[in-house]
C-alpha cells in the first residue's frame, strides 16, 4: 500500500476494485465502513454482489476480466471533461500524451459494450473520483489474478496519477495483501530476480556486496524462475530437486492435477511445514516446523509495517523454528550458518537492505515501523511518493483491454471465479483444524445465479459437478444473486473441493500470475 490502513477511513472517495474487503480483509473493511458512516462515497467494482458492494453508493457489477476497459473509460471521461489534475500531471508525471491517446477510444459507450456498465454510471463514478480532495483505490486479487494482471495494476496507477490522488494522506494506490507476510517474503528477496529490498541480482555491485557479507567469492547473476516455471521445469525434468517451506502448491496453484504430476517427477522433494499438507504428502523428506506461536520473528504487513512475532509456547514435539532448520541445512551442506536469535538475523538484514536499515528488535519493542526506514533515527514512511515518485517521475503506462484467456463457449458456458470466505484461509491447512472455524463453516458450496440454476434444473442444495477442460469437483449448489447470470463462484479453502483442478494456468506475461478469476466451466446436477 502507498498509504497506511488508517488512511482509508479518512478518504472522501473509496474506489474498491476486485476486493471483497469485508470478507477477505475484515479489519481493513472496518476502515471502509467507518468512512462510509462518516459520509465518504464508496464505489465497488466487482462481478459479485459482495457485502462491501452492498455498502457502496454505486456497485459496478462488471464482467469478469474487463477491468482495463473500466479504468481506461474512467480516465477517458476525466480527460474529456477536463477534470484531471493538470498541475500534478505536468510536474510529477511523464508520457501523459501517450496515455491520453491510448484511452481516447474508451468512451463510456464503447466501455459499456465490454464491461456491461451503463455509460451514465461510468461517468458518475469517474467524476466522483476526480472531483474529491482525497480518493483512495483499494484492490486485491480481482485485479491481479488475470493474464493482464500487471496491466490492470498499470491502469489503476494511471488513474490515480491522472487525478493526483497519490503521494498524500488518505489517498493512494492500495493493494491489500492476502497473507500475513507476503509483503515481507518479497522484501526479503524470496523472489527470483531480486535480493532484499528489491536489489536486482543482475547488478554487479549488489551481488558483490551480498557475496562479501556472506563470505563468498560470487553469487549467481542469472535471474531465477517463478513458481509456475518451476513446476513446468519439474514436469519436463529440468528441475530435479525442490525445497518447499510453508507452502501448499498442490491446492493453491492452478491446474492442480498438473502440479501433482510435476512434483511426482522430481528426484527429490523436501517440504518443511507444520502439517502434512497435500504437498508434503508428495515429499521425500518432511521437516516439522514451529508455528507462529512457537518462535520469534517479524512479519511485514500490507502497509509495509514491520511488526514483532513473539514466542509464546515451546514447539510441539521435535518441531523446530524454520530459521533454525534452515541454518542446520546450510551447515550440513558445508556452509556454517549460526545465529543466536532472529534479532541477530534482523541485524544482518538491516545491514544489507537500505529500506530496512533502521529497523531493529529494540525499536520494534516500541511498535511497528513502516519501511522505508533507512537509519535508526528515521521514523519510518507511512505515505510513499510524497513530492517525488521513487523512480523520479510517475510514468503513465498506456494499456489496452484484452479478453481473458478462456472465455465461455457452448461446451463450457459459465465463468468460474474463485476467492476467499470469511471463516477460512487459503488452503485450509490451519482453519480446518481450529475446533471452531471448520465447525461453524464446514462445507463449501458453489454460488450460482437463479437464472442459470433454472436452465440446469438445479435446486438449492443439489449436488453438482463443476468441470473445466482440466478437471472437475463435486459440491452443493447455493442459488444466490451474489453472482450474476453466467458466473459461478467458490473458494479454494477446502481440500475436498480442490477447485484449482479446474482453474486455468494461463499466466500474466510479466508477473506470471495465473488467471484464477476467469475460466470456462460447465455445471451438471449429479443427485
Partner 1 sequence: MAEVTLTINGGQITVPQGSTILNAAQKMGVFIPTLCYDPELTIDGSCRMCVVEVKGARTLMISCATAATEGMVVETESPAVIEARKTILELLLANHPLDCLTCGRNGDCRLQDYAYRYGVKEGGFAGAMHQYPIEDDNPFIVRDMNKCILCGKCVRACAQIQGKNVVDYTYRGFDTKIAPAMDTTLAGSDCVFCGNCVAVCPVGALQEKVLRSKARTWEINKVRTTCPYCGTGCNFDLNVKDGKVVGVTSCDGDVNGRALCVKGRFGYGFIHHPDRLSKPLIKKDGQFVEASWEEALALVAEKLGGIRDNNGPDALAVLSSARCTNEENYLLSKLTRAVFGTNNIDHCARL
Applying the rule CB under 8 A, the residues between 161 and 190 that interact with partner 1 are: 176-190
Longest Cα pair distance anywhere in the chain, in angstroms? 68
**By the rule CB under 8 A, 38 interacts with partner 1:** no
- C-alpha 404 chain-centroid distance: 18
Q: Which of the ranges 21-29, 38-46, 375-383, 402-410 carries the binding residues for partner 1, by CB under 8 A?
A: 21-29
List the beta strands (DSSP E) in 116-267. Answer: 135-139, 172-175, 194-195, 199-200, 241-245
Least distance (Å) from partner 1 to the CB of residue 239?
A: 5
Q: What is the spatial distance between Cα 419 and Cα 105, in angstroms, rounded to a whole number?
A: 32
Is the sign of the CA dihedral 301, 305, 311, 317 positive or negative?
positive
CB 25 within 8 A of CB 141: no
CB of 314 to partner 1, least distance (A): 6
Applying CB under 8 A, among 98, 316, 386, 454 the residue interacting with partner 1 is 316
Which stretch, 61-69, 381-389, 431-439, 463-471, contacts partner 1 (CB under 8 A)? 431-439
* Residue whose CB is less far from partner 1, 81 or 264: 264
Q: Which is nearer to partner 1, 114 or 256 (CB)?
A: 256
Least distance to partner 1 from the beta carbon of 160, Å?
A: 20
CB of 93 to partner 1, least distance (A): 27
Size of interface with partner 1, in residues (CB under 8 A)? 142
* 379 near partner 1, judged by CB under 8 A: no
Question: Restricting to residues 240-299, which ones interact with partner 1 according to CB under 8 A?
Answer: 240-247, 249, 252-253, 267-268, 270, 273-276, 280, 283-289, 291-295, 297-299
> Taking the complex as a whole, how short is the minimal distance between the CB of residue 25 and partner 1, in angstroms?
6
DSSP states along 62-107 = PPTT-HHHHHHHHHHHHHHTT-S-HHHHHHHEE-HHHHHHHHTT--
Q: In terms of CB distance, is 122 or 242 closer to partner 1?
A: 242
- 80, 83, 119, 193: which one contacts partner 1 (CB under 8 A)? 193
Taking CB under 8 A as the rule, does residue 234 contact partner 1? yes
Tell me which residues in 212-231 interact with partner 1 (CB under 8 A).
214, 216, 219-220, 222-228, 230
Nearer to partner 1, 46 or 515 (CB): 515
Region from 80-88, 164-172, 334-342, 381-389 binding partner 1, contact rule CB under 8 A = 334-342
* Distance between CA atoms of residues 356 and 187, nearest Å: 9
Residues 435-464 that bind partner 1 (CB under 8 A): 435-437, 439-440
Between 315 and 408, whose beta carbon lies closer to partner 1?
315
Region of 197 please: left (phi>0), alpha (psi -120 to 50) or beta.
left
Q: To the nearest whole angstrom, how small is the minimum distance from the Cβ of residue 408 to partner 1?
A: 24
Name the minimum Å distance from CB 99 to partner 1: 27
- Span interacting with partner 1, options 80-88, 318-326, 403-411, 453-461, rule CB under 8 A: 318-326
Q: How far is the CB of 104 from partner 1 (least distance, A)?
A: 33
Q: Which of residues 483-522 bind partner 1 (CB under 8 A)?
A: 511-514, 516
Nearest to 154 by CA among 145, 163, 164, 143: 143
Task: State the Cα–Cα distance between residues 484 and 487, nearest whole angstrom.
Answer: 6
Query: Distance between CA atoms of 431 and 152, rounded to whole angstroms?
Result: 31
Helix-helix angle 67-80:119-131, to 10 degrees? 70
- 83, 118, 191, 456: which one binds partner 1 (CB under 8 A): 191
Query: Distance between the two ends of the chain, CA-based, in angstroms?
Result: 46
Query: Cα separation of 509 and 148, whole Å?
Result: 8
Torsion of Cα atoms, 48 then 51 then 57 then 63, to 10° = -10
Helix 108-115 × helix 67-80 angle, to 10° = 170
Interface of this chain with partner 1, residues 120 to 159, rule: CB under 8 A: none
Closer Cβ to partner 1, 190 or 407, answer by number: 190
Regarding beta strands 199-200 and 194-195, do their DSSP bridges make them parallel or antiparallel, or are they unpaired?
antiparallel
- Taking CB under 8 A as the criterion, the residue among 158, 429, 490, 504 binding partner 1 is 429
Residues 289, 364: Cα–Cα separation, whole Å: 25
Least Cα distance to 161 among 89, 268, 112 occurs for 89
In this complex, which beta carbon is closest to partner 1, that of residue 65 or of residue 297? 297
The span from the CA of 32 to the CA of 35, in Å, is 5
Among 333, 340, 457, 527, binds partner 1 (CB under 8 A): 333
- CA pair distance 304, 466, nearest whole angstrom: 39
**Shortest Å, Cβ 13 to partner 1:** 18
Q: What 3-state class would DSSP assign to 6?
A: helix
DSSP state of 194: E
Q: Give the residue, chosen from 303, 444, 452, 462, that forms a contact with partner 1 under the rule CB under 8 A.
A: 303
Amino acid at each position: 500500500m502507498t498509504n497506511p490502513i488508517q488512511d482509508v477511513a479518512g478518504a472522501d472517495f473509496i474506489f474498491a476494485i476486485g476486493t471483497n474487503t469485508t470478507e477477505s480483509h475484515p479489519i481493513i473493511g472496518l476502515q471502509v465502513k467507518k468512512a462510509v458512516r462518516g459520509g465518504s462515497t464508496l464505489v465497488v467494482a466487482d462481478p459479485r454482489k459482495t457485502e462491501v458492494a452492498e455498502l457502496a453508493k454505486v456497485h459496478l457489477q462488471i464482467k469478469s476480466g474487463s477491468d482495463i476497459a473500466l479504468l481506461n473509460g474512467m480516465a477517458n471521461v476525466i480527460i474529456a471533461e477536463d477534470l484531471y489534475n493538470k498541475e500534478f500531471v505536468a510536474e510529477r508525471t511523464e508520457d501523459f500524451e501517450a496515455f491520453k491517446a491510448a484511452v481516447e477510444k474508451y468512451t463510456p459507450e464503447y466501455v459499456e459494450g465490454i464491461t456491461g456498465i451503463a455509460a451514465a454510471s461510468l461517468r458518475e463514478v469517474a467524476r466522483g473520483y476526480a472531483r474529491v480532495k482525497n480518493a483512495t483505490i483499494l484492490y486485491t486479487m480481482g485485479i491481479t489474478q488475470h493474464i493482464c494482471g500487471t496491466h490492470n495494476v498499470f491502469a489503476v496507477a494511471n488513474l490515480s496519477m491522472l487525478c493526483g490522488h497519490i503521494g498524500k494522506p488518505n489517498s493512494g494506490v492500495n493493494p491489500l495483501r492476502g497473507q500475513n507476510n507476503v509483503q515481507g517474503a518479497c522484501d526479503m528477496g524470496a523472489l527470483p530476480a531480486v535480493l532484499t529490498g528489491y536489489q536486482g541480482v543482475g547488478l554487479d555491485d549488489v551481488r558483490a556486496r551480498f557475496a562479501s557479507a556472506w563470505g563468498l567469492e560470487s553469487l549467481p547473476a542469472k535471474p531465477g524462475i517463478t513458481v509456475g516455471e518451476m513446476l513446468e521445469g519439474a514436469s519436463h525434468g529440468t528441475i530435479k530437486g525442490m525445497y518447499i517451506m510453508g507452502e501448499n502448491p498442490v491446492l493453491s496453484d492452478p491446474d492442480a492435477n498438473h502440479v501433482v504430476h510435476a512434483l511426482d517427477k522430481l528426484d527429490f522433494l523436501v517440504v518443511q511445514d507444520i502439517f502434512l499438507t497435500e504437498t508434503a504428502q508428495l515429499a521425500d523428506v518432511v521437516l516439522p516446523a514451529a508455528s507462529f506461536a512457537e518462535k520469534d520473528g517479524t512479519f511485514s504487513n500490507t502497509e509495509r509495517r514491520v511488526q514483532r512475532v513473539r514466542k509464546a509456547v515451546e514447539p510441539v514435539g521435535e518441531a523446530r523454528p524454520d530459521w533454525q532448520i534452515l541454518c542446520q541445512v546450510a551447515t550440513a551442506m558445508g556452509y556454517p550458518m549460526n545465529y543466536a536469535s532472529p534479532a541477530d538475523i534482523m541485524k544482518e538484514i538491516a545491514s544489507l537492505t537500505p529500506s530496512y536499515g533502521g529497523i531493529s528488535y529494540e525499536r520494534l519493542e516500541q511498535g511497528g515501523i513502516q519501511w522505508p526506514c533507512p537509519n535508526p533515527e528515521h521514523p519510518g514512511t507511512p505515505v510513499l511518493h510524497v513530492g517525488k515518485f521513487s523512480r523520479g517521475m510517475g510514468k503513465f503506462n498506456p494499456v489496452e483491454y484484452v479478453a481473458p484467456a478462456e472465455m465461455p463457449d457452448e461446451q463450457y458456458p459459465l465463468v468460474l471465479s474463485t476467492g476467499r470466505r470469511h471463516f477460512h484461509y487459503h488452503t485450509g491447512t490451519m482453519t480446518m483444524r481450529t475446533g471452531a472455524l471448520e465447525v461453524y463453516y464446514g462445507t463449501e458450496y458453489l454460488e450460482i445465479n437463479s437464472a442459470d440454476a433454472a436452465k440446469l434444473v438445479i435446486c438449492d442444495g443439489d449436488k453438482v459437478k463443476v468441470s473445466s477442460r482440466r478437471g472437475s469437483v463435486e459440491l452443493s449448489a447455493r442459488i444466490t444473486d451474489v453472482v450474476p447470470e453466467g458466473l459461478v463462484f467458490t473458494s479454494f479453502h477446502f481440500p475436498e473441493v480442490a477447485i484449482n483442478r479446474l482453474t486455468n494456468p494461463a499466466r500474466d506475461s510479466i508477473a506470471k500470475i495465473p488467471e484464477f478469476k476467469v475460466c470456462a466451466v460447465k455445471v451438471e446436477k449429479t443427485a
